[in-house]
Chain A
Amino acid sequence: MNGLNISELNELRQQFPALHQSVYGKPLVYLDNAATTQKPQLVIDRITKYYSSENCNIHRGVHYLSQVATAAFEAVRANVAGFIHAAKSEEIIFTKGTTEAINLLAGSLAGFLIGMGDSVLVTGMEHHSNLVPWQQLCKRNHAKLLVAQLDDKGEVSLEQFGKLLEQKPKLVAITHISNALGTINPVKEMITMAHANDIPVLIDGAQSVAHMRVDVQDLDCDFFAFSGHKMYGPMGVGVLYGKEKWLEQMPPWQFGGEMVDQVSLQETTFNQLPFKFEAGTPNVAGVLGLGAAIDFLNQTGLEKIGKHEQQLLDLAIKKLQSVQGIRFIGNANNRAGVISFIVDGTHPTDIGILVDKMGVAVRTGHHCAQPVMTRFDVPGTVRASFALYNTAEEVEVFVSAVQKAVRMLL
């Protein structure tokens, strides 16, 4: 499978209005895609269409508009299920994003699976959103947080991971791809290892779904969380996938409208899956936008996208070697389109400020993964992260900008 050819790439770029602008008089080079991706016109149009002609509260109304909106909303649930190859649409819970998906899971499991003396196993490369909810749950419930540490390349040792599994944690919560290091974890292998010990596994897929084909049944993960806005969809919408056998047993997390069946002043019975976990009016426009983003990804082809981003990553790594004093943070053998680095004698913030003036948007700081920065003993890094619309020319502009910034600073 090849990446995208030039005409495909140009055509794709045309679909993203935000890419075609200048910052400080320079063409924008947007390399902060791990934070959020830009949106294609069809996603923007889908949201506009909903508010222009379909806006309605869903699931309850018998009137025409409500039925139109409900049908569209539920069609996206089926679309999401197909996208990650879930066995059933009912296994797809809409949330605000990955963070809420993980908080939902932690909130529900807190009263169900993880209690005093139990433990939860994470890795040392988790984004705060897959660390803090478990850490705080463990504090509240007097449970223990186990951490699989990283080696110097930014990989988890499977041997140590296996040893920690012997402590019989109640849940393993690991990221698919590190947002700070780019490491692709061997999650399938890790899930098999955890299952051999009867331990369920949550995969944080925030950084993976837009960059590789994810098949939750093939992975056999018990839970999978991701965000719409990192996969060309809108902000404020995300997904928690859970195996039906787990979701059926789990208690609801938030309470209110939509998630109930019968309510008296004393008692409430809860709605079925997936509605049991979707209290309140959902982000209908966001969900519809997410559906459009999935259509866009399916049309473009995730294999092609992955290949293209891999080519950009390889090119960037090669070109950045010419920057004197550069140190890459994260050198995993298997890695995605994220490149994190520091340059001796400079602070990442300084580089970020200067390349910004040259039109290049990168991220600087700890990337919501402070323990990773501590592990590598850096104050933060400069991070460039690629999306399907980035080009080899943009990589060149980025590398020249870094070189120029370093020359100014040293």
Chain B
Amino acid sequence: MTIQEIQEQIVNEFSLFEDWMDKYNYLIEMGKEVPRIDERYKTNNHLISGCQSRVWLHAENRDGKIYFTADSDAVITKGLVNLLIRVFSGHSPEAILEADTDFIERIGLKEHLSPTRSNGLVSMVKQMKLYAQVYKLKQDN
């Protein structure tokens, strides 16, 4: 599936939720999943700055595609980052760089998008795109 298709799928899933509680229960559920990151990457080097809770993000390039793993000490934050991983992981750097993130608004989590929101998705998205940028530069060279 393309990034766009995954985003549509998520929008469809979220449209089933009747209220904010269902939505957040789903995020919490996703946040409780076993962390996908290797313990050795949970270092300060992998911390995303600007988050109120700690978020570790690791990226690997395999066969021209980027695979993300992450963890957080806050469960909703972890749910959010897992959602982003589902969207962005396993795609080419170009696709990640080109992708927009309006699905977040469409699933009603807009309040997490404000650039000053310290638990926000903005720094996570930024960090993922930064990894994509770096791998793209490496490829181009």
Q: With A24-B20, A379-B73, A408-B21 given, is the CB distance from A349 to B28 under 8 Å? A: no
CB of B118 within 8 A of chain A?
yes
Enumerate chain A residues within 8 angstroms of B52, measured Cβ to Cβ.
Answer: 349, 364-365, 380
The residue that B76 contacts in the complex, of A24, A350, A380, with Cβ under 8 A, is: A350
CB of A65 within 8 A of chain B?
no
Residue among A352, A364, A365, A409 with max Cβ neighbours from chain B (10 Å): A409
CB of A354 within 8 A of chain B?
yes
Binary contact track A372-410/B, C-beta < 8 Å → 1, others 0: 000000011000000000000000000000000000110
CB of B119 within 8 A of chain A?
yes
Enumerate chain A residues within 8 angstroms of B73, measured Cβ to Cβ.
Answer: 347, 379
Q: Are A409 and B28 in contact (CB under 8 A)?
A: yes
Q: Are A365 and B118 in contact (CB under 8 A)?
A: yes
Residue of A nearest to B117 (CB): A353
Q: Are A350 and B118 in contact (CB under 8 A)?
A: no
Enumerate chain B residues within 8 angstroms of A365, measured Cβ to Cβ.
Answer: 52, 118
Residue of A nearest to B75 (CB): A350
Q: How far is the CA of A385 from the CA of B76 in the complex (A)?
A: 24
CB of A346 within 8 A of chain B?
yes
Enumerate chain B residues within 8 angstroms of A24, measured Cβ to Cβ.
Answer: 20
CB of A357 within 8 A of chain B?
yes
Q: How far is the CA of A379 from the CA of B52 in the complex (A)?
A: 9
CB of B92 within 8 A of chain A?
no
Q: How far is the CA of A380 from the CA of B119 in the complex (A)?
A: 13
Interface size class of chain B, counting residues whose CB lies under 8 Å from the partner chain: 10 to 19
Binary contact track A302-345/B, C-beta < 8 Å → 1, others 0: 00000000000000000000000000000000000000000000
Q: Are A409 and B75 in contact (CB under 8 A)?
A: yes
Q: Are A350 and B74 in contact (CB under 8 A)?
A: yes
Residue among B25, B52, B54, B73 with max Cβ neighbours from chain A (10 Å): B52
CB of B14 within 8 A of chain A?
no
Q: How far is the CA of A347 from the CA of B75 in the complex (A)?
A: 7
The residue that A349 contacts in the complex, of B24, B25, B119, with Cβ under 8 A, is: B119
Q: How far is the CA of A397 from the CA of B7 in the complex (A)?
A: 36
Q: How far is the CB of A152 from chain B (nearest CB, A)?
A: 23
Q: Are B20 and A349 in contact (CB under 8 A)?
A: no
The residue that B24 contacts in the complex, of A347, A354, A364, with Cβ under 8 A, is: A354
CB of B82 within 8 A of chain A?
no
CB of B123 within 8 A of chain A?
no
Enumerate chain A residues within 8 angstroms of B53, measured Cβ to Cβ.
Answer: 347, 349-350, 379
Q: With A365-B52, A380-B52 given, is the CB distance from A349 to B21 under 8 Å? A: no
Binary contact track B24-66/A, C-beta < 8 Å → 1, others 0: 1100100000000000000000000000111000000000000
Enumerate chain B residues within 8 angstroms of A352, measured Cβ to Cβ.
Answer: 119
Residue of A nearest to B72 (CB): A347
Enumerate chain B residues within 8 angstroms of A353, measured Cβ to Cβ.
Answer: 24, 76, 119
Enumerate chain B residues within 8 angstroms of A379, measured Cβ to Cβ.
Answer: 53-54, 73
Q: Are A408 and B24 in contact (CB under 8 A)?
A: yes
CB of B89 within 8 A of chain A?
no
Q: How far is the CB of A335 from chain B (nearest CB, A)?
A: 25
Point out residues on B near A: beta carbons under 8 Å: 20-21, 24-25, 28, 52-54, 73-77, 118-119
Could you give 11 example pairs across A and B, Cβ below 8 Å? A347-B53, A347-B75, A347-B77, A349-B53, A350-B75, A350-B77, A352-B119, A354-B76, A364-B52, A379-B54, A409-B28
